[in-house]
Amino acid sequence: MHGLATQIVNLLAAILLLISFAMLSQRRMLALIHLYTLQGVALVLANLVLGFVTADTHLYLSAALTLVLKVALIPWILYRLVRHLRITGDVESLLNIPATLLTGIVLVVVAFNVALPVTQFAASAARGTLGIALACVLLSLMMMITRAKAISQVIGFLSMENALFFAAAAATDGMPMIVELGVGLDVLVGILILGVFMFQIRSQFDHLDIRHLAERRDD
């Protein structure tokens, strides 16, 4: 039973990593939102499996929270933003796709090496996944750096936060409930603020490309 659970969580971790790579290469906005939702689903499943194995009700709660927040609410807000602001068009990447993916592979190797000494201490069913989670964090970071559009930077940020929650669930059977609630609240408020923010930019400037804003070169 335990062995099977480990296999499933490892599989989910691999799926998470694949989705991160897919996000790196995806240029269409709606597809990015779908990938983000899929990531949320993988996170929910991982929480459920770990909750089943450890018989910890708090992981079920965490799964429910993730389902409401990251599979339903946040994708819905993003979808509405994209539709209202009519950001359907392609996302220009500052780096071409093959170069992005190659750099991504290097990042994964780095992440595995950094996490190696820690992974052997992870006590729970999913000890091998910490490296994958760190790799996802780095890939999301890279997505934020290489994308020009505000909303794809936000999706990068959200996917980084997903990876962190995966790390928390896999390595430690979840953070204390108050912390998870607090982090979830912060993320939700952050997204709402960004929505307001993007509408303000749109009403003022008519485009959402970060590069077109005045660039100050002095630091």
User: In the complex, which residues of this chain contact another protein (CB under 8 A)?
Assistant: 114, 117-118, 121-123, 134, 137, 141, 144, 150, 153, 157, 160-161, 164, 167-168, 171-173, 175-179, 182-183, 185-186, 189-190, 193-194, 196-197, 200-201, 204-205, 210, 213-214, 216, 218-219
**Which residue, 15 or 168, has its beta carbon nearer to another protein?**
168
Minimum Å distance from CB 77 to another protein? 15
End-to-end CA distance of the chain: 56
**For the CA atoms of 65, 68, 73, 78, what is the dihedral angle to 10 degrees?**
70
Residue 150 near residue 198, CB atoms below 8 Å: yes
Minimum Å distance from CB 27 to another protein? 20
Minimum Å distance from CB 147 to another protein? 11
Minimum Å distance from CB 179 to another protein? 3
**Which residue, 98 or 218, has its beta carbon nearer to another protein?**
218
For 148, residues 6+ apart whose C-beta sits below 8 A from its C-beta are 91, 92, 93, 94, 209, 210, 211
Token pair recorded at residue 210? 């970060």
**Which residue, 90 or 219, has its beta carbon nearer to another protein?**
219
Q: How far is C-alpha 115 from the chain's CA centre?
A: 19
Q: Measured between alpha carbons, how far is 181 from 183 in angstroms, rounded to an integer?
A: 6
DSSP 89: S
**Which residue, 19 or 111, has its beta carbon nearer to another protein?**
111
Minimum Å distance from CB 214 to another protein? 5
Minimum Å distance from CB 187 to another protein? 9
Q: Measured between alpha carbons, how far is 60 from 46 in angstroms, rounded to an integer?
A: 10
Nearest partner of 150 among 191, 94, 209, 91, judged by Cα:
209
**Which residue, 4 or 116, has its beta carbon nearer to another protein?**
116
Q: Say which residue the tokens 């509408």 belong to.
A: 199
**Which residue, 49 or 160, has its beta carbon nearer to another protein?**
160
